[in-house]
Amino acid sequence: MNMVQALNSAMDNMLERDPNVVLMGQDIGYFGGVFRCTQGLQGKYGEHRVLDTPIAEGGMVGTAIGMAVNGLRPVVEIQFADYIYPAIDQIVSQLARLRHRSAGSFWAPVTIRAPCGGGIRGGQTHSQSPESLFTHICGIKVVMPSNPYDAKGLLISAIEDDDPVLFLEPKRLYNGPFDGDPDKPAVGWGEHPHGEVPEDHYGLPLGIAKTVTQGDAVTILTYGTMVHVCVAAARALGVSADIIDVCTMAPLDTDTIAKSVQRTGRCVIAHEATRFSGFGAELAATVQEECFWHLNAPIQRVAGWDTPYPHAFEWSYFPGQNRVIAALKVALES
């Protein structure tokens, strides 16, 4: 399966086994979503379980919270992560805090799905990676898969989780892995081991990072599209890298990260989002706290530049293999 099919399969499984699961979003019902993630689901489960909504992200999340408080398990699709901002007050002030401020009396198991990231010539309003805005909020989990197998398992766990989850989908990976080189012919998920996705229900635990490649020279902490870029960069440089796909940014799997860096003594952090106050800053701080006495070199960060995502300079902006390699060299040589 590609990632779109894997996500579709996760929602299909959940709609089937739990009558409380409902989907909401713009163009998701009759049309099946602009990325086709919900194709066929309204036909199968009806218009009362797969709801087309008005174009009002604040209204979508706000009503999803109400539904969740009344026993449903809504999955809201934000058409692009770049359009989540009208919902920010509902997410920050209600969704993430209900449980805490009502001392456990109220909670809202809402999952918010949002395609994120660039590499599709989408300009500044179809390319953003806003994860760190949300990891800074206490009470909402933040997840980003990097392949179809993980996408399905993590989405199922997100929907089943009793806490709210922001589930970010790197849209550049929907149809195939991407190593950061836009000039190479596109490849599908067919050949990739993680393109193998069971039809049946399965969950993957939230809050657990995954080791993508094992190595001992350096640890690379990354997630989403950048996982594939980092694998290609390490291979190109011929370096034995321990590449960790963070998978869940909040809550963070500090253990896996610390064990790896304590072993390698070197750490490069890579994400597509802008650098300043990006999630890499949290990762770097964590590594510093957990591994300071094991570090042989300063931690390196590779990230999008601190500018809006430019349409024309997508590939100068995107932190491709060159930038990862440059950071690896610094980490390895110092």
Partner 1 sequence: MGRRSRLHIPQAPARPGDRPDFSYLETSPAGAVARPNIDATCQEIEPISAALIRVLGDDDSAVGPWNPQLGPEDLRTGLRHMLMTRIFDERMLRMQRQGKISFYLKSTGEEAVSVAQAMALRPSDMLFPSYRNQGLFFARGCNPVELMCQCLSNTGDMCKGRQLPVLYHWKEGNIFTIAGNLAIQAPNAVGWAMAAAIKDEDNIAATWLGDGSTAEADFHNALLFASVYQAPVVINVTNNQWAISTFQAFAGGDRGPFSTRGLGLGVPGLRVDGNDFLAVHGVTQWAAERARTGAGPTLVELVTYRASAHSTSDDPSRYRPDSEWDDWPLGDPIERLKKHLLALGEWSERQHHALQSELEENFKTAWQEALGFGTLTQGPQLSPDSMFDDVFKEMPPHLAKQRQLLRKTES
**Active site residue ranges:** 126
Residue with tokens 């933040």: 142
From the CB of 108, what's the least distance to partner 1, in Å?
19
Q: Starting from the edge strand earliest in sequence, which strands make up the sheet with 267-274, in order?
A: 210-213, 241-245, 218-222, 267-274, 300-304
Beta bridge partners of 23: 50, 75
Nearer to ligand TPP, 86 or 182 (CB): 86
From the CB of 295, what's the least distance to ligand TPP, in Å?
43
Which partner, ligand TPP, partner 1, none, binds residue 31 by CB below 5 to 8 Å per kind?
partner 1
Q: Are 273 and 129 in contact (CB under 8 A)?
A: yes
Q: Cβ–Cβ contacts within 10 Å for residue 79, how many?
A: 19
Binding stretches for ligand TPP (CB under 6 A): 26, 55, 79, 83, 86
Burial of 285 (0-12, 13-18, 19+ CB in 10 A): exposed
Compute the distance between CA of residue 268 and CA of residue 280 in angstroms, rounded to an integer: 10
Closest to 99 in 3D by CA, of 88, 110, 86: 110
Which partner, partner 1, ligand TPP, none, binds residue 323 by CB below 5 to 8 Å per kind?
partner 1
Nearer to ligand TPP, 8 or 79 (CB): 79
Nearer to partner 1, 16 or 306 (CB): 306
Nearer to partner 1, 85 or 202 (CB): 85
From the CB of 315, what's the least distance to partner 1, in Å?
9
Which partner, ligand TPP, partner 1, none, binds residue 190 by CB below 5 to 8 Å per kind?
none
Binding stretches for partner 1 (CB under 8 A): 26-27, 30-31, 34, 47-48, 51-59, 82-83, 85-86, 121-126, 275-276, 305-308, 310-313, 316-317, 322-323, 326
From the CB of 125, what's the least distance to ligand TPP, in Å?
7
Which partner, partner 1, ligand TPP, none, binds residue 203 by CB below 5 to 8 Å per kind?
none
CA atoms within 13 A on the CB side of 63: 13
Nearer to partner 1, 78 or 158 (CB): 78
From the CB of 31, what's the least distance to ligand TPP, in Å?
11
Which residues touch 39 (CB under 8 Å, ≥6 apart)? 8, 32, 33
Specify the pairing of strand 73-77 against strand 300-304: unpaired
* Encoded amino acid at 88, one letter: I
Specify the pairing of strand 241-245 against strand 210-213: antiparallel
